[in-house]
Each structure stands twice: as structure tokens, then as C-alpha cells.
Amino acid sequence: MPGLAKSKKNTLLRLTPPQVMALGFTIIIGIGTFLLSLPAAHADGTAASLLDALFMATSATCVTGLSVVNFGAHYSLFGQIVIILLVQIGGLGFMTMATLIALVFRRRISYKERLILQQAMNQSSTEGIIRLIRKVFLYALVIELAGATLFTLRWMFEMPFGQAVYFGIFHSISIFNNAGFDLFGGIPGRAGSLMHYTDDPFINLVSMALIILGGIGFIVISDLLTYRKNKKLTLHSKVVLAASGGLILLGGTVIFIFEFANPSTLQPLSMTGKVLASLFQSVTARSAGVVTLDTTMLRQATQFFIIVMMFIGAAPGSSGGGIKVTTFAILIGAMVAMVRGKEDIVLFRHRITKERIHKAITFSLLSFFLIVLATMLLSTTENFPFLGILFEVTSAYATAGMSMGLTPQLTTFGKTLIILMMFVGRLGPVTLAFSLTLRPGKELYRYPEGKITIG
């Protein structure tokens, strides 16, 4: 027995950081699947199918928000708590949670574990990684408590105080972690998500603040909080803030223009309501999942634009998905440099290394090909319009959680494929590829340089 235990330990030590991350998420999803398959997790007291339980556990752990059932009405209090705990673990990252537990029990964090944390937090080195983990937990706790308090103060005027507190805590965690699960679908006569609050400035502003804070990442939040002391921001923070701000304004403007005269969305609202709804859909499209407008009622041009926004996604080191705004910024920088005849990609007077450029291109192309392949496969198995299938696949891969109604109608194959897309999207295709391959050996030679005609 001691020899067996030692063998298992040695096997774990041989795992690379990407493999540990993939294994960790798989274990968390497995535990969640078991708990959500229990009769106690469902309002009617019946056991769920294993596939549906797996789908919901994956959606929660990967902070996606897609649901095969009416979430608010289908799950019992126990089931809802399981989901929100999975969201919290998935949002912060299981390695972050494990590290916090280890720190509480005063256990030393090994160098291998620091390497895994470096991978999980998208850091370039292990220096200061434990200090960052402590900050992550503190920032998340403070922001979620603030959001829960503000939501409670608003909802206590329309529901019992205890229910308002529970709704406040649940939605604050769900929205900050960009998960998109909501409880309003379980209230008779109420629309799901935040569609009841389309022109409510308080709910809109609090929700958008939570989504943005959860989407820019803890590294940027830390940078902003220490700005008064350091009087400077890192290049990463500058790029994330500039790209995120630009995309929010661009998205809000495009949605406002295309939906202004749409009688099913913006037309009936006041000018304030139109602006709020346009900005909210722009903010939530890049990963959050909660909506204040019915996505199925948007014009096709708007729906396609949202697909593009979901594909871009949030920032690295956040709970959001997509190719990430930094990757998008590098791609735009490459295009601008090429048009201007420049050799280097320069962002905020900093030259981007070739390694980062290659990684951005690789990640974007892999993401694009995965979405195209999944869309083609679902187009042959699901009886649904093509744009709706593309929308759902992109939402799953980008862990955005927005839906045009396909998810509850998915076939067994469709559910399985969407589960895989959510899992790959949360880990990242490059990380998953590294977790499935052996350590690359050092190249002993290089081929001669060749030239290919482009354009």
C-alpha cells in the first residue's frame, strides 16, 4: 500500500501545469455532476439524467450559464447552492481555492504548485504569485459582498427580506463571475434573467459594474488599486482597460443603432432606457450571460455582432472567456502595423514580442476552427436556424451564457458537444493541447528560411 501511494504521488508530480488544471476542472465537474443528479437537488424530488447533471455542472464550473432547464424553477435550494458554489470555484479557479485552503492550514506552497498557479493566473513568472492569490480572494469577497448588499437593498422592496438577501448573494456571485445564472425564471409571471429591469438604472449600473470588474481580471483591479501609490499602470492593464472601454462603447453604439426602431426591443423604451439597454447588452455580450433584452427578438445583424463580441471575450486572468481582449488588441495592432508598413507591433510605446504575436494568432485560429467545426456538426444534428446554432456554439466556447433558445432543445449529441465546447473554452484550446501532449524536446536544427507570396 505505501508503494501504491508513492506511485500515485510520483504520477501527480510528473503532470504538467496544464494537465493539472485540466484534471482539477474534471474532478470538480465530476463532483458537481454527482450532486446535481441527486433527487434532493431538484424541486420535484426526482433524480436528473446523468447527461443533464453533467451539462449543468460543466456550465457552472466553466462559469458559462447555459441551462438545459428553467434554472430558477427546476432546482431546489440545495441544487441552487451546489450550482453557485461551482460558479465560485470555477470563477476564482480551483487552484486558487486550493491554495487559500493550504494557506489557512499554514501549509507550504511548493514550486510545482506555484507553476500551476502561474499558468492558472496567466502570469509570466511565479514571483509574487501567492501574494496575488491573497489579493484575488480579498477583492472577490469585497466586490461580491458589495454587490450582494446593493442588490438586497433594491429587492427588499419587492420581496421578503430573507429572499432579497438570498437573491442578492446568489446574483452578485453569478454576475461577478460572469456566469449568468439567475433565479427570476422561478417566479411565476416574471421573465428570466434581468429582463424585468430593462430600464431600471440601479440594477443596470450595479450589474454592469460587477460584470466589468469580473471581466477585466484581478491583475488589472490590483493595478488600479495601487495606482495612487505607484502612479503608473502596467502595459497589460492599459491594453485591457483601453480595449474593454472601446469595445463597450462600440458595442453600445452598434446595438443602439440597429435596435433603435425594433418594436420588440428598444423602440418602446425611453431614451434613458434605450441607452441603458444598449450598454448593458454590450457589456454582457463579452462573457456575462445575463440580459435585459430578449436575445431572440434582436435583429439578425445585432445577433451576429454579439457573436463577434462573445468571440473576443473578456481579459486574461478573469472569469470570462473568449480569445481575450489582449489577443484581439494584438491582432488589431498587427493589422495596423502591416497597413502602415511597420515591422513591429507597438502598443502604448511598447513593442510586442514575436512569441506573444504567434501565441495570439495560434489561439485565435484554434478558437475559430473549433467554433466552425462544432457549428457544422450541430447543423447536421439539430433542427434549428444556422445563426442560432452559431450563436449557441460561440456562447458555449466563450463561456458567455447568452442563448437564442437552442440549449433546452439539444439532442444527446448536441449536449455532449456543447459540454466539450464549454470545457475547452474555459481551459483554452492551447492549454488543453499542452495537457494532452508530452513535453516537447529541444529542436537540434532549423530549416532554411523560405518565402511565400501573400495576398
As averages over each run of 10 residues, the pLDDT of the chain (455 residues) reads 48 62 86 94 86 94 90 90 92 61 54 56 57 78 94 93 95 92 83 87 95 88 84 89 95 96 93 94 89 93 96 85 91 90 87 87 91 96 95 94 92 95 82 54 70 68
What are the sequence ranges of the domains in the chain? 14-434
**What is the per-residue pLDDT for 149?**
96
C-alpha pair distances (Å), 418 with each of 34, 68, 352, 394: 19, 11, 34, 10
What are 385's three cell numbers?
Answer: 436556424
* DSSP of 331-376: HHHHHHHHHTT-SS-EETTEEPPHHHHHHHHHHHHHHHHHHHHHHH
Q: Are 390 and 307 in contact (CB under 8 A)?
A: yes
Q: Which of 374, 218, 368, 212 is nearest to 285 (CA)?
A: 212
**What is the per-residue pLDDT for 4?**
46
At 339 the three-state DSSP class reads helix
190/248 Cα distance (integer angstroms): 28
DSSP state of 75: B
Q: Are 309 and 211 in contact (CB under 8 A)?
A: no
Q: Are 378 and 393 in contact (CB under 8 A)?
A: yes
Q: Are 29 and 426 in contact (CB under 8 A)?
A: no
185/193 Cα distance (integer angstroms): 7
**What is the per-residue pLDDT for 1?**
46
DSSP state of 42: B
Half-sphere exposure (CA, 13 Å, Cβ side) for 85? 13
